[in-house]
Structure 1
Amino acid sequence: MLFPAADGSELPMLVFEPVGGTRPLAGIVLFHGGALREGSPDGLAPHCRKMASRGILAGSAGYRLLGRGAASIDDCIVDVRCAVEQFAGLAAMRGLEVPHLASGGSSAGAHLALVAAMTPPESTTAPGPGIAAVVALNPAGLNLRSFEPAAQRRLEQQVGIAAGRLTEYSLIEFARPGHPPMQIHHGTRDEVEPIDSVRQFRDVMVRSGNECTLVEYDRAGHGFHYPGDGGHFDDVIDATALFLLDRIATT
């Protein structure tokens, strides 16, 4: 299916329903990685298909990419908010309300989902989009303040934002009470986001009074969670489904 992006263009969303037409117990919409410049909803289709077999309504949504409709990371974030809203409408038609919905993604997509969930839209002081949990697969951008100044400037240019704005997208800066429960999956040898940075984020979130669980995969690198890549796919799906069904499933 297609849904409207913030600029009026159309974006894809793949939706996977529980088998046999059974009423879903929970819902989650995921966002692909690719450094904001590549990737598609197809990348997380296997994850969604498997979660649907566990009774979870699962969607994999696109967003405008840099150089292909998005001028900056801000456009990507607003598209994620649009996708979450669209998915919530689909879920409502299947009997699922906001307390039973989650968002998440992989790498850059996980970062976008977390930013959207942890910050309000620019046009309002209300909380982020209506979701009750977040699942992040090897997320990036947890502590951007730790980058050297030269690296920060390069990243600012890459994601289309003005100099000095990078830390506005650093997830650790958003740690405060009241965030939805989070589950993070990360490899101890991730070459994009070091595991120490993820542990620091987890600790800060917990100290702020939030539930933030880190599931570590020994010696796994970035992108470890795909089928056939290191043999962790089933473990990731098992842990994700258990988390969602325990925290947000209907009763």
Structure 2
Amino acid sequence: MNLRFDVYQNPAQTEPGPCVVYFFGGGWMDGDYKQRTSQKAVYMRDLAELTERGLTVVSASYRLVQQAAFPACVHDAKALIRHLKAHGHEYLIDPARVGVLGNSAGAHLSAMVALTHGDPEIDGRVGDDLDQDPSVAAAVLYYGPSDLVSMARSTGARDTSGSEVDDIFASDDVGMFEVVLGYDRSRHDGRSLERLWTEGEGQDYLEVLRRFSPITHVSGAHPPILILHGGKDALVPLAHSENLYDALVDAGADATYLTYSRGAHGPSLGPEVDAFAYEFLISRL
């Protein structure tokens, strides 16, 4: 599969400048980089306007879990950053001024890009620019899961109607992380993944989730990070952002956290919150 991306840039730009890479949300199983629906295009609509202020905006694709097993999506995100750095002269992108923004699953990918580097298992070997450093200069995380283990082990129906993920998680017949991890019940006597864990098995699945949880990799050596979350988020609990922020502060990292009490799981936390996020990127890149 060829990974694709769209580049938005002011036609008047002639010199390499800052770049924001956007990773879409959708539970790692839904959505696309073209942002074809108005509900999910809210970020690209506003981000594209930043080209008037000198930023290049890249909307990136990555393999969904139906196309390649998790964590291929993380490897794809890393590969795109490497590619943009290697070919920055072609895209008029300054490799030292690349930032990321993502919402939901896209925030998870953005966090993994921002918080990890130099680990072959996490960086992966996707693409032709393996000599490049996939680190970034800033990150904005909209209501992203930071602890996949705790999220996978939580149960209960989630009403996501009206949010950016619509009702893709409305069914409890198959757990969300069974799909994400490619779990086949038929190979485990028909047991659900939750039951497997209850019975003390399936630790290899938990280890994958732990390794690819942003909170696992917190240290003081990270780029500036802005974390945003809504108090009425029915899919990703507010604690994911609160705990990540606390861990970053304890580690001495440059972190900012903003929550909106009435915000849900997208498709936006409101124009004021979004404006704050875009100004953060402009100031840090």
Q: Please state how far the C-alpha of 1:150 moved relative to its aligned partner.
A: 6.9
Find the aligned partners of 2:272 and 2:87 in 1 and give their Cα distance: 28
Of 132, 140, 146, which aligns to 2:137?
132
Which position in structure 2 is the counterpart of 1:119?
116
Are the counterparts in 1 of residues 86 and 132 from structure 2 also a CA contact under 8 Å? Answer: no
Instruction: Provide closer, same or farther for how the CA distance between residues 242 and 148 of structure 1 changes in structure 2, counting only shifts above 3 A.
Output: closer
Q: Please state how far the C-alpha of 1:201 moved relative to its aligned partner.
A: 1.2
Are the counterparts in 1 of residues 17 and 92 from structure 2 also a CA contact under 8 Å? Answer: no
Of 180, 196, 207, which aligns to 2:239?
196
Which position in structure 2 is the counterpart of 1:157?
178
| Percent identity of paired positions between Structure 1 and Structure 2 | 25
Are the counterparts in 2 of residues 191 and 222 from structure 1 also a CA contact under 8 Å? Answer: yes
Find the aligned partners of 2:106 and 2:75 in 1 and give their Cα distance: 13
Deviation string 1:78-117 (CA, Å, 9 cap, x unpaired) is 1111111223345343554332111121110110121133
Q: Please state how far the C-alpha of 1:14 moved relative to its aligned partner.
A: 1.1
Deviation string 1:205-231 (CA, Å, 9 cap, x unpaired) is 111011111122230100142xxxx7x
Find the aligned partners of 2:83 and 2:47 in 1 and give their Cα distance: 17
Instruction: Provide closer, same or farther for how the CA distance between residues 23 and 216 of structure 1 changes in structure 2, counting only shifts above 3 A.
Output: farther
Are the counterparts in 2 of residues 84 and 103 from structure 1 also a CA contact under 8 Å? Answer: no
Of 216, 233, 253, which aligns to 1:173?
216
Which position in structure 2 is the counterpart of 1:4?
none
Which position in structure 2 is the counterpart of 1:51?
50
Instruction: Provide closer, same or farther for how the CA distance between residues 155 and 164 of structure 1 changes in structure 2, counting only shifts above 3 A.
Output: farther
Which position in structure 2 is the counterpart of 1:20?
12
Counterpart of 1:208, as a letter, is: A
Find the aligned partners of 2:235 and 2:83 in 1 and give their Cα distance: 31
Q: Please state how far the C-alpha of 1:169 moved relative to its aligned partner.
A: 2.2
Instruction: Provide closer, same or farther for how the CA distance between residues 60 and 214 of structure 1 changes in structure 2, counting only shifts above 3 A.
Output: same
Instruction: Provide closer, same or farther for how the CA distance between residues 239 and 91 of structure 1 changes in structure 2, counting only shifts above 3 A.
Output: farther
Q: TM-score, normalised by structure 1?
A: 0.80
Instruction: Provide closer, same or farther for how the CA distance between residues 94 and 116 of structure 1 changes in structure 2, counting only shifts above 3 A.
Output: closer
Larger relative contact order (Cα-Cα within 8 Å, sequence gap ≥ 6): 2
Are the counterparts in 1 of residues 56 and 93 from structure 2 also a CA contact under 8 Å? Answer: no
Instruction: Provide closer, same or farther for how the CA distance between residues 158 and 128 of structure 1 changes in structure 2, counting only shifts above 3 A.
Output: farther
Find the aligned partners of 1:13 and 1:171 in 2 and give their Cα distance: 24
Which position in structure 2 is the counterpart of 1:73?
70
Deviation string 1:35-90 (CA, Å, 9 cap, x unpaired) is 111101122431331222222111110001111x21x2221111111111223345
Q: Please state how far the C-alpha of 1:19 moved relative to its aligned partner.
A: 4.9
Is the radius of gyration larger for structure 1 or structure 2? 2
Instruction: Provide closer, same or farther for how the CA distance between residues 189 and 23 of structure 1 changes in structure 2, counting only shifts above 3 A.
Output: farther
Find the aligned partners of 1:127 and 1:202 in 2 and give their Cα distance: 28
Instruction: Provide closer, same or farther for how the CA distance between residues 149 and 21 of structure 1 changes in structure 2, counting only shifts above 3 A.
Output: closer
Are the counterparts in 2 of residues 98 and 130 from structure 1 also a CA contact under 8 Å? Answer: no
Deviation string 1:140-166 (CA, Å, 9 cap, x unpaired) is x21234347475x95553222643222
| Structure with greater strand share of residues | 1
Which position in structure 2 is the counterpart of 1:183?
226
Find the aligned partners of 2:178 and 2:246 in 1 and give their Cα distance: 30
Which position in structure 2 is the counterpart of 1:29?
21
Find the aligned partners of 2:135 and 2:181 in 1 and give their Cα distance: 27
Which position in structure 1 is the counterpart of 2:279?
242
What is the alpha-carbon root mean square deviation over aligned residues? 2.8
Q: Which runs of 5+ in 1 are unaligned?
A: 1-8
Of 203, 207, 210, which aligns to 2:250?
207
Are the counterparts in 2 of residues 77 and 115 from structure 1 also a CA contact under 8 Å? Answer: yes
Are the counterparts in 2 of residues 33 and 105 from structure 1 also a CA contact under 8 Å? Answer: yes
Find the aligned partners of 2:45 and 2:63 in 1 and give their Cα distance: 22
Find the aligned partners of 2:180 and 2:133 in 1 and give their Cα distance: 21
Counterpart of 1:239, as a letter, is: F
Counterpart of 1:163, as a letter, is: Y
Q: TM-score, normalised by structure 2?
A: 0.71
Give the length in aligned residue pairs.
230
